[in-house]
């Protein structure tokens, strides 16, 4: 298997049939719609990750990171979902959703904010891959440090840090609402949810996203919050639409 893959990758496109034969053992996921893509993600979370899938050997993030999938994606990618998530070390989307190499196009930035660079990456994903990803997911999480910072230093307080970090925190000010207690989980939880809602609104107004919806009526945008605690449920902020 490994030799065949090395041979195929070395030959590139002229080895298509052989590569396709190998890839049939680790086929790329092709959900028919945003809702089907959403189901793949939530199924990976509820059905495997949240049940410690490694215990029973049913972890697809392990199965689909092997030489088969690496060989299949060595010359091209066609991820079925784009994920904008926080950079927090406790929220690795491939593991949380139990997906493999080539399944997800992930943009990670503190606070999962829709920065110019994040939007550029999203536009790239929605215009360059064939087939186009079916879902754009904004993934927030509980206990987000960026959300806490936005509450702690909301105006008129003066930001004490660098302009680089301020550029992360400032967009979250608009999600602070009436939260005054940056040490309280319930208060921060509301900021996290509102931040996801605000980012979704930003992205739904983004031309590349609007174009994707117009081109493919089965494409959709959704948002959720990851709880961090084991055995907890994903919190739906917006079903894909």
DSSP, res 30: -
Q: Work out how close the CB of 91 gets to Zn ion at its nearest, in angstroms, rounded to a whole number.
A: 7
Closer to Zn ion by Cβ: residue 88 or 98: 88
- Spatial separation of the C-alpha atoms in residues 130 and 132, rounded to whole Å: 5
The residues in 125-154 that bind Zn ion, with binding defined as CB under 5 A, are: 144
Closer to Zn ion by Cβ: residue 86 or 169: 86
Helix locations, 12-87, DSSP H? 16-23, 34-47, 60-63, 67-72
Q: Work out how close the CB of 141 gets to Zn ion at its nearest, in angstroms, rounded to a whole number.
A: 6
Closer to Zn ion by Cβ: residue 23 or 225: 225
Closer to Zn ion by Cβ: residue 9 or 234: 234
Q: Work out how close the CB of 201 gets to Zn ion at its nearest, in angstroms, rounded to a whole number.
A: 19
Residues 6+ apart with CB under 8 A from 153: 159, 160, 169
DSSP H or E run through 235:
strand 235-238
DSSP, res 161: S
- Spatial separation of the C-alpha atoms in residues 224 and 229, rounded to whole Å: 15
Q: Work out how close the CB of 202 gets to Zn ion at its nearest, in angstroms, rounded to a whole number.
A: 17
Give the Å distances, CA to CA, from 128 to 132, 212, 231, 232.
Answer: 8, 11, 37, 36
Closer to Zn ion by Cβ: residue 40 or 237: 237
Pairing of strands 135-141, 220-226: parallel
- Spatial separation of the C-alpha atoms in residues 211 and 221, rounded to whole Å: 12
Angle CA 145–86–146, to nearest 5: 25
The residues in 71-100 that bind Zn ion, with binding defined as CB under 5 A, are: 86, 88
How many binding residues for Zn ion (CB under 5 A)? 3
Q: Work out how close the CB of 192 gets to Zn ion at its nearest, in angstroms, rounded to a whole number.
A: 8
Closer to Zn ion by Cβ: residue 166 or 215: 166
Q: Work out how close the CB of 76 gets to Zn ion at its nearest, in angstroms, rounded to a whole number.
A: 32
Question: Which residues are at the interface with Zn ion (CB under 5 A)?
Answer: 86, 88, 144
């Amino acid at each position: 298997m490994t030799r065949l893959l090395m041979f195929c990758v070395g030959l590139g496109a002229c080895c298509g049939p052989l590569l396709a034969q190998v890839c049939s053992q680790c086929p790329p996921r092709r959900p028919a719609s945003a809702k089907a893509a959403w189901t793949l993600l939530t199924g990976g979370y509820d059905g495997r990750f949240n049940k410690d899938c490694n215990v029973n050997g049913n972890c697809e993030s392990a199965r689909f990171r092997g030489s088969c999938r690496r060989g299949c994606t060595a010359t091209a990618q066609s991820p079925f979902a784009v994920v904008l998530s926080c950079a927090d070390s406790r929220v690795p989307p491939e593991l949380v959703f139990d997906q493999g190499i080539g399944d997800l196009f992930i943009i990670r930035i503190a606070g999962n904010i829709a920065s110019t660079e994040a939007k550029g990456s999203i536009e790239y994903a929605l215009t360059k891959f064939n087939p186009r990803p079916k879902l754009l997911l904004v993934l927030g999480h509980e206990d987000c440090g960026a959300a806490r910072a936005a509450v702690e230093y909301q105006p008129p307080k003066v930001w004490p840090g660098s302009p680089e970090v301020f550029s992360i925190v400032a967009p979250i000010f608009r999600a602070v609402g009436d939260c005054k207690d940056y040490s309280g989980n319930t208060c921060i939880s509301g900021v996290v949810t509102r931040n996801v809602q605000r980012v979704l609104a930003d992205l739904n107004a983004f031309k590349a996203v609007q174009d994707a919806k117009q081109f493919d009526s089965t494409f959709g945008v959704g948002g959720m919050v990851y709880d961090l605690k084991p055995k907890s449920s994903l919190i739906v902020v917006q079903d894909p639409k």
